[in-house]
């Protein structure tokens, strides 16, 4: 299987799992593949839940399996992707050692069990049901962001009765 096909599949999974379009990019797709331990030739059914650090876990996996070498300063970008994954319920932070201090060099991420249950069924007849199951106890990240933004809007009623919501700050 070609790398571009695998990346498109990973992006389709991210979309189905409720990530906003900006979080469906190439680095997010590669991060998902690394979290699942899936090389180009692996099947989605082979996805697994393993601890992965940012540099030696995710970035080294991408370099080894997909022949993409990100610069060391990309570490922060990968960390931001992982943070979005945690918010979306796709990944867990320190699931194998939850008492690790925040600044521990052993801090790690793993694909969440509920996301893994869906991801491993990608491309099968069970895929859509698995995605619905993933959302049983959570809202899509797009919806969470939309609600947070709407909660910050200041309601304004115009003289003609039209209602608007303005973001705080200079207008």
* pLDDT digits (tens), the chain, 171 positions: 688 999 999 999 999 999 988 899 999 999 999 999 999 999 999 999 999 999 899 999 999 999 999 988 889 999 999 999 999 999 999 999 999 988 888 999 999 999 999 999 999 999 999 999 999 876 555 555 454 444 455 666 778 777 666 666 554
Tell if the pTM clears 0.85, that is, is over it. no
Type and span of the H or E element at 77: helix 75-88
Q: Rounded CA gap, 105 and 149, in Å?
A: 34
The sign of the CA dihedral 7, 11, 17, 19 is positive
For domain 3-138, give the CATH superfamily: BsuBI/PstI restriction endonuclease, N-terminal domain (1.10.10.1820)
The sign of the CA dihedral 107, 87, 149, 146 is positive
């Amino acid at each position: 299987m070609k790398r571009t096909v695998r990346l498109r599949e990973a992006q389709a999974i991210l979309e189905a799992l409720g990530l906003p379009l900006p979080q469906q990019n190439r680095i997010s797709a590669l991060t998902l593949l690394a979290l699942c331990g899936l090389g180009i030739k692996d099947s989605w059914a082979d996805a697994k839940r393993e601890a992965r650090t940012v540099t030696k876990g995710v970035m080294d996996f991408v370099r080894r399996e997909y022949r993409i070498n990100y610069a060391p300063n990309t570490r922060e970008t990968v960390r931001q992707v992982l943070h979005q994954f945690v918010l979306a319920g796709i990944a867990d932070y320190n699931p194998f050692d939850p008492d690790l201090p925040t600044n521990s060099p052993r801090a790690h991420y793993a694909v969440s069990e509920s996301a893994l249950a869906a991801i491993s069924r990608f491309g099968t007849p069970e895929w859509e049901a698995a995605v619905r199951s993933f959302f049983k106890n959570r809202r899509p990240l797009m919806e969470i962001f939309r609600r947070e933004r709407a909660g910050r809007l200041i309601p304004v009623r115009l003289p003609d009765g039209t209602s608007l919501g303005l973001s705080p700050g200079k207008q």
